[in-house]
């Protein structure tokens, strides 16, 4: 019982997709918190995300290879844009930039994270933690894209209000890792983890 409280996500798999925003530094803390909660965490990064935080950071925190390209060779010679979603109980995008939100809403699949989202259909739920400047968040296109994704069943946590990277105050901060962890936990504990293949 105590173990379940300490590691409520034991046996669950989280596919954490990290996109290119300054909030990437919070994603490293989030990955650590997910692992501490017992989840198996695989990380996929956009090229832009790797300009903020090195893939080695996530590899060290999760103990797993980081997916960073559609063209990347994997240890199991698996399809990098398909197999991670087959194992995942949830696909979490944190931070979810205006760019990635727009691409997903438009069905664009021009890089790894977009392909993973498209291949998650029927495999696992999607959760987004938006992070961007307030003007970008309030833009009609972004709001329409978010509503479209919600109508398709995507879960959204945040964004929060506060000081933004540009120095302005407003809505657009990525939710704190503890808040995202709680949202992921609440979502995952509604159903048992996928049966793992031996």
pLDDT one-digit tens code per residue, 103-146: 999 999 888 999 999 988 888 999 999 999 889 999 999 999 99
Cis peptide before 159 (omega within 30 of 0): yes
Length of the chain: 198
Q: pLDDT tens digit string along 41-50?
A: 999 999 999 9
Quick one: CATH architecture of 2-188?
A: 3-Layer(aba) Sandwich (3.40)
Catalytic residue among 17, 24, 124, 166: 166
For residue 67, the SS3 value is strand
State yes or no: is 166 an active-site residue: yes
- At 95, give phi and psi (nearest 5°): -80, 150
- Enumerate the domain spans of the chain: 2-188
């Amino acid at each position: 019982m105590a173990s379940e409280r300490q590691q409520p996500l034991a046996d669950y798999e989280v596919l954490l997709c990290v996109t290119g925003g300054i909030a990437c530094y919070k994603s490293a803390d989030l990955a650590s918190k997910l692992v501490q909660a017992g989840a198996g965490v695989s990380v996929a990064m956009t090229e832009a995300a790797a300009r903020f935080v090195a893939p080695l950071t996530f590899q060290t925190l999760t103990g797993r290879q980081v997916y960073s390209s559609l063209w990347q060779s994997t240890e199991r010679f698996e399809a990098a844009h398909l197999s991670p979603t087959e194992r995942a109980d949830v696909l979490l995008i944190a931070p979810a930039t205006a760019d990635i939100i727009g691409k997903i809403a438009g069905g664009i699949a021009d890089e790894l994270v977009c392909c993973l989202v498209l291949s998650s259909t029927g495999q696992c739920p999607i959760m987004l933690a938006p992070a961007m400047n307030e003007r970008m968040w309030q833009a009609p296109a972004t709001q329409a894209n978010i509503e479209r994704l919600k109508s398709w069943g995507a879960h959204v946590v945040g964004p929060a209000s506060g000081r933004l990277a540009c120095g302005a105050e407003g809505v657009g901060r990525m939710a704190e890792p503890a808040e995202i962890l709680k949202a992921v936990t609440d979502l995952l504990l509604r159903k048992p983890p996928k049966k793992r293949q031996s």
